[in-house]
A and B are shown apart, each in its own frame.
Chain A
């Protein structure tokens, strides 16, 4: 990163020197952003650069790994939110965030008294004390500001009384009272400006977003009054309580904001660091040269700080006391859709453990903004969300011009209003980004004027104007992080987008931005949507309609957009598919074969789905598919298809169905050492002991591409020097004896024959030679591999059957796989049935059929009637059921079979990676029990529940065998006298008790080693376990 700095120099004569292009640090750049080299490149240029044109970008490359900074969801800042706390108290909270400070102010209604909770005070402060401290000593004025409705007065009375009980009447008294409540920090006890503490807290911390100039507290008072008024409304009317989960009250923090926050902190750290170092330098008495600050700029602070934060995901901003973990994730490269889906993911603000249903539930206000389907199952269900297809997240817009524009449109300034006038009927308060700007007498008029200006492009297109009739407020928002989406503007129910516009779009004269600029389309955020009447289709518009939806399928996100006919499915099925689509194997990117991923799953013959959706075309899934169109017969066959298992046709597998490539990366580093010696790679031995294991090595000592690599094969013939510390005068001339072998061997599963795909030589960050091997393994589907359709219907391969035994249709069509019909009734995935019909019609008429969500009225999805007609035209039954013959007997089946193509995904879970068995094997050192887990060749655990079963059954010998004989048997010497463990003396050939110092009462017995370990551990804690032996 380059920046311009100017530095002051010299001793007596002060000159101002400027230095241009000083590097203060380097900033990782988001791919495909405006600063990225890939920005605005066309497909050919990207191909030349070796990049995939379909890659979504939006991530960072830090230390060689791709990292996404996930979108963070937060409650909106600087807004009043009325809520109930866990004890049922009504609270109003404002999270203030300014450039200088972040604070949270909570108003709490406890036993009818309103108090303010602020971090800086040790206990809640009565609200009237605060008001008095801000200079409003008259209770009457407070009541006036809140509104003269007698009900409000009644509600405020207890608070006023409380204030009187505390003997606070004047500003002075109030401040003194507050002074006693200020939290004292031990280290700054009794230090600077003791008196001003309370005042400065009230000024700077309390509602920090309302700026106070020269102790002019009036705006803050009015703000408090508005809060109180809203609280009282909420007391009187439960509906006035805000919904925390309402999307309009949420802000999404994007990577730009996150990075700017971090950068600001790092920049300030750097400044103070520079100051510290110059101070140190100036303190020194003898300085040879003149001081030049520019020499002391540490450029590492920013570079390293950003790099560390992005690669670890830990955001530590000390100034705002922010410590967040897991902000970044490694980009999922399992499939193309997983990558795209990863970029749209939104992380929740709450921790996942909370068992609350509210934030997890689907909010009606999510419509069109956040995908209703795409959320994980399990603990993060409903908390982690995904953006919809057309969602736009706003960025901060300049406030100044907007404020002056509002004033010129007739907003009466707050300063000119008395408390009485504030809530005068027929006038609306104007709130701008959470601040009270003033009031307006003609709210609708004002709102339409602003909207007109926005459509004309005079103010930013993402500024939202929202008239809240209930609160008598106009909310204007230009802050960042709001979600909004484009809608077609309609005048009196007639859409502004006309036929000729669409023609122009098709020809290419018009782009989406032209629509926006010409005022045909506008962005609405969640709040402003409440002022709009949006018709789903143009034909459904009524005269009151203000907007028309662009396309209903855009309410879904990228992952849910792959599902054909999702609106015919049971909703959880779509959610399951959203999770499974990310595990499907297929193509990752156009440059997938040039990448060096540590683990990559590819399909050998990926296909484009026969039944597509518009979303598929928009995101490019048709170019980077993750599945194959399989002809599916829905019938029972062989009994190996229970519990969702599928029966596969062996010939289909021979032809390449479900075949996949798995590549893994192996890395070797040619290390340099401190004493100038370094590892070396030498020519392999062609004869001798290791010759067989070195077969795959080339003459350069590295495995050659195209070679078959087996377990225990050496893939790099490396040697490292024995002496790594003591310096050597001629590192190059070390004799062979000074090296010891440091070969690396391949540790794959036995029997699997992988191939060395590519070998890459690079250098790592310490400039060591780094050699990477890509190992490829081609797999054919086998028993137990997992497959799934696009409707959340996963199943494993139950059996593989020869084609001649497979049923076949009248035309000789033989299915690729057979699915059990029991998968349908309980899952209710009608979409899958329609996909089958549409696919069948598609193959017979040669046209891709569509199944976009809710697409039937607009022609983005084919209707079943039309599909059936096509089927009939090509000689199939309208129902999609065929006359099928048994492949075994040759006679027809006594049922018509529903058969046709369905897009099937092969999921990454494969038996080969999971299967595991062990007879005897490694043991854990400490307990001498078998190890755990497949990777350590571990044993299979007989757990508590299994043990319970055996006890219940009475199979005591089996328990004995499992839990002791086959696990960790150990022979111990037990002293019958003291009950403690002794030892066996091999010289005397007798057991001896070390406590009794004799071998008189020793018995030999077997017990699990873990038991012996427990006894000894107990003994070490001064607990004596004594064994009492009895004759069995």
Chain B
């Protein structure tokens, strides 16, 4: 966008933002050297001088928020979340990574392992295998533990399942195991050679938010050059009559932000690469246990429960010292 002196700018009626401020508010500018305007303007009175209210309103959010599913198959979902704050969108991402439960082996009990892979390594590999089981059907056995815990005394459970591979005569020492003891599910791979396990490695949830490209008019031969420039085929050529052609952004979702289009001479002046701040493209790749759309709803539930927890805490606080109503509003918003 060309820089214009403030004196030469057109007057803007009260209650509206001038176009460049509006852009700064809603877009991330991806210049060739560094992205700018990356933060969201949170302060409700940021544009008060121009008569614009920047406060967050629940009804506005409800009105503007959209979710558009672009792709959905067994393991993947790609959907757009439009009209949501980065912090909230990120909260979903973080919850998906860290808090939506997935089933995995936490403790492994070795009866006999003569493979080349040592017990600990095999156990680690087993732990990496996602298990196709709906975690919602299970309860947490223990408090979330930071690390696998060695139980040097062997299994605390004296091998209840007792696969009785070795007949223990009473004379020999008590059966103890090199154990990450306590298995929740018995896997068919349990006694198998671990090589077979390798092929099951899929990881959980990932996402890449927000991408939309805006473009100023670029005409004629330069347009064709631009189309060629982009390696991922974002642009297309459109005829605008009178023998003039211009490039349009035909496939904005394909952009990987390689910034090829704004590289070199003064391409940066012709092409404006920006991102919409409140538009997020979410890609969730499921490990297979749950369908990806369910994963997301799970994440929403987690967030919801967290909010509830916090509100209840704050409510109790509020009843005590009769605090500001401002907080209430925030909590209400969060809940939404």
Contact partner of B172 (CB less than 8 A), chosen from A699, A809, A885, A891, is: A699
Instruction: List, in ascending order, chain A residues with CB within 8 A of B98's CB.
Output: 802-804
Instruction: List, in ascending order, chain A residues with CB within 8 A of B128's CB.
Output: 654-656
Closest to B34 in A: A895
**Known contacts A812-B283, A876-B258; A887 and B94 CB within 8 A of each other:** yes
Verify B256–A810 contact, CB threshold 8 A: yes
**Known contacts A661-B118, A892-B35; A695 and B211 CB within 8 A of each other:** no
Question: Does A934 count as interface, using CB distance less than 8 angstroms?
Answer: no
Question: Does B214 count as interface, using CB distance less than 8 angstroms?
Answer: no
Question: Does B295 count as interface, using CB distance less than 8 angstroms?
Answer: no
Complex interface residues of chain B between 192 and 241 (CB less than 8 A to chain A): 206-209, 211, 231-232
Contact partner of A804 (CB less than 8 A), chosen from B94, B124, B257, is: B94
Question: Does B137 count as interface, using CB distance less than 8 angstroms?
Answer: no
Verify A892–B93 contact, CB threshold 8 A: no
What number of A-B contacts does a CB cutoff of 8 Å give? Answer: 129
- Contact string against A for B residues 26-37, beta-carbon threshold 8 Å, 1 for contact and 0 otherwise: 001010011110
Q: How far is the CA of A757 from the CA of B256 in the complex (A)?
A: 49
Question: Does B24 count as interface, using CB distance less than 8 angstroms?
Answer: no
Contact partner of A891 (CB less than 8 A), chosen from B38, B176, B178, B259, is: B38
Question: Does A503 count as interface, using CB distance less than 8 angstroms?
Answer: no
Verify B208–A809 contact, CB threshold 8 A: yes
Q: How far is the CA of A891 from the CA of B207 in the complex (A)?
A: 13
Closest chain-A Cβ to B226's Cβ sits at a distance in Å of 14
Instruction: List, in ascending order, chain B residues with CB within 8 A of A895's CB.
Output: 34-35
Verify B211–A810 contact, CB threshold 8 A: yes
Verify A753–B232 contact, CB threshold 8 A: no
Instruction: List, in ascending order, chain A residues with CB within 8 A of B304's CB.
Output: none
Verify A684–B118 contact, CB threshold 8 A: no
Verify B231–A896 contact, CB threshold 8 A: no
Instruction: List, in ascending order, chain A residues with CB within 8 A of B110's CB.
Output: 706
Q: How far is the CA of A206 from the CA of B94 in the complex (A)?
A: 86
Q: Considering residues B33, B39, B112, B120, which has the most beta carbons from chain A within 10 angstroms of its beta carbon?
A: B120
Contact partner of A874 (CB less than 8 A), chosen from B39, B119, B231, is: B231
Question: Does B97 count as interface, using CB distance less than 8 angstroms?
Answer: yes
Question: Does B18 count as interface, using CB distance less than 8 angstroms?
Answer: no
Q: How far is the CA of A698 from the CA of B30 in the complex (A)?
A: 67
- Contact string against A for B residues 74-103, beta-carbon threshold 8 Å, 1 for contact and 0 otherwise: 000000000000110111011001100000
Q: How far is the CA of A875 from the CA of B254 in the complex (A)?
A: 9
Contact partner of A877 (CB less than 8 A), chosen from B94, B119, B259, B283, is: B259
Closest chain-A Cβ to B197's Cβ sits at a distance in Å of 13
**Known contacts A778-B121, A803-B97, A875-B232; A812 and B258 CB within 8 A of each other:** no
**Known contacts A697-B173, A699-B172; A804 and B260 CB within 8 A of each other:** no
Verify B34–A695 contact, CB threshold 8 A: no
Verify B124–A656 contact, CB threshold 8 A: yes
Question: Does B116 count as interface, using CB distance less than 8 angstroms?
Answer: yes
**Known contacts A708-B152, A812-B206, A894-B35; A686 and B173 CB within 8 A of each other:** yes
Closest chain-B Cβ to A626's Cβ sits at a distance in Å of 17
**Known contacts A875-B232, A894-B34; A708 and B86 CB within 8 A of each other:** no
Instruction: List, in ascending order, chain A residues with CB within 8 A of B65's CB.
Output: none
Verify B28–A812 contact, CB threshold 8 A: no
Contact partner of B256 (CB less than 8 A), chosen from A656, A695, A755, A876, is: A876
Question: Does A439 count as interface, using CB distance less than 8 angstroms?
Answer: no
Complex interface residues of chain B between 110 and 146 (CB less than 8 A to chain A): 110, 112-113, 116, 118-121, 124, 128
Instruction: List, in ascending order, chain A residues with CB within 8 A of B86's CB.
Output: 889-891
Closest chain-A Cβ to B298's Cβ sits at a distance in Å of 16
Verify A707–B178 contact, CB threshold 8 A: yes
Verify A604–B113 contact, CB threshold 8 A: no
Question: Does B246 count as interface, using CB distance less than 8 angstroms?
Answer: no
Closest chain-B Cβ to A614's Cβ sits at a distance in Å of 30
Q: How far is the CA of A873 from the CA of B176 in the complex (A)?
A: 57
Closest to A875 in B: B256
Verify A893–B87 contact, CB threshold 8 A: no
Closest chain-B Cβ to A774's Cβ sits at a distance in Å of 11
Question: Does B263 count as interface, using CB distance less than 8 angstroms?
Answer: yes
Contact partner of A708 (CB less than 8 A), chosen from B121, B150, B232, is: B150
Complex interface residues of chain B between 12 and 44 (CB less than 8 A to chain A): 28, 30, 33-36, 38-40
Secondary structure dominating the interface of B: loop
Closest to B117 in A: A604
Closest chain-A Cβ to B31's Cβ sits at a distance in Å of 10
**Known contacts A875-B258, A890-B93, A892-B38; A755 and B178 CB within 8 A of each other:** yes
Closest to B207 in A: A812
Question: Does B275 count as interface, using CB distance less than 8 angstroms?
Answer: yes
Q: How many residues of A contact B (CB 8 A)?
A: 52
Closest chain-B Cβ to A713's Cβ sits at a distance in Å of 9
Question: Does A811 count as interface, using CB distance less than 8 angstroms?
Answer: yes
**Known contacts A812-B283, A890-B89, A893-B35; A695 and B176 CB within 8 A of each other:** yes
Verify A883–B30 contact, CB threshold 8 A: yes
Closest chain-B Cβ to A206's Cβ sits at a distance in Å of 66
Closest chain-B Cβ to A285's Cβ sits at a distance in Å of 70
Q: How far is the CA of A885 from the CA of B94 in the complex (A)?
A: 13
**Known contacts A684-B173, A883-B30, A894-B38; A875 and B90 CB within 8 A of each other:** no
Verify B150–A890 contact, CB threshold 8 A: no
Q: Considering residues A811, A812, A872, A892, which has the most beta carbons from chain B within 10 angstroms of its beta carbon?
A: A892
Verify A872–B97 contact, CB threshold 8 A: no
Verify B118–A776 contact, CB threshold 8 A: yes
Instruction: List, in ascending order, chain B residues with CB within 8 A of A878's CB.
Output: 258, 260, 263
Closest chain-B Cβ to A782's Cβ sits at a distance in Å of 11
Verify B87–A883 contact, CB threshold 8 A: no
Closest to A806 in B: B97
**Known contacts A810-B208, A812-B206; A872 and B38 CB within 8 A of each other:** no
Verify B231–A889 contact, CB threshold 8 A: no
Closest chain-A Cβ to B112's Cβ sits at a distance in Å of 8
Complex interface residues of chain A between 694 and 708 (CB less than 8 A to chain B): 695, 697-699, 706-708
Verify A706–B178 contact, CB threshold 8 A: yes
Verify A894–B36 contact, CB threshold 8 A: yes
Verify A890–B209 contact, CB threshold 8 A: yes
Question: Does A850 count as interface, using CB distance less than 8 angstroms?
Answer: no
Question: Does A542 count as interface, using CB distance less than 8 angstroms?
Answer: no
Question: Does A786 count as interface, using CB distance less than 8 angstroms?
Answer: no
Closest chain-A Cβ to B206's Cβ sits at a distance in Å of 4
Instruction: List, in ascending order, chain A residues with CB within 8 A of B209's CB.
Output: 885, 890
Q: How far is the CA of A802 from the CA of B171 in the complex (A)?
A: 49
Instruction: List, in ascending order, chain B residues with CB within 8 A of A707's CB.
Output: 176, 178
Instruction: List, in ascending order, chain B residues with CB within 8 A of A888's CB.
Output: 90
Q: How far is the CA of A656 from the CA of B120 in the complex (A)?
A: 11
Closest chain-A Cβ to B30's Cβ sits at a distance in Å of 7
Closest chain-A Cβ to B161's Cβ sits at a distance in Å of 19
Instruction: List, in ascending order, chain A residues with CB within 8 A of B118's CB.
Output: 661, 755, 757, 776, 778
Q: How far is the CA of A710 from the CA of B154 in the complex (A)?
A: 12
**Known contacts A593-B116, A878-B260, A895-B35; A804 and B97 CB within 8 A of each other:** yes
Question: Does A485 count as interface, using CB distance less than 8 angstroms?
Answer: no
Closest to A778 in B: B120
Subset of 13 A-B contacts with CB under 8 Å: A604-B121, A706-B178, A707-B176, A753-B152, A778-B121, A811-B208, A814-B206, A875-B232, A876-B258, A877-B257, A878-B258, A890-B86, A896-B33
Q: A residues touching B (Cβ–Cβ < 8 Å)?
A: 593, 604, 654-656, 659, 661, 684, 686, 695, 697-699, 706-708, 710, 753, 755, 757, 776, 778, 802-804, 808-812, 814, 871-878, 882-883, 885, 887-896
Leading 7 A-B pairs by shortest Cβ distance:
A890-B90, A875-B256, A812-B206, A778-B120, A804-B94, A890-B86, A883-B257
Q: B residues touching A (Cβ–Cβ < 8 Å)?
A: 28, 30, 33-36, 38-40, 86-87, 89-91, 93-94, 97-98, 110, 112-113, 116, 118-121, 124, 128, 150, 152-153, 171-174, 176, 178, 206-209, 211, 231-232, 256-260, 263, 275, 277, 283
Q: Given A708-B152, A755-B120, list of 15 further CB < 8 A pairs?
A: A686-B174, A695-B153, A697-B173, A708-B178, A753-B152, A778-B121, A808-B206, A810-B257, A812-B283, A878-B260, A882-B257, A883-B30, A890-B86, A891-B39, A891-B40
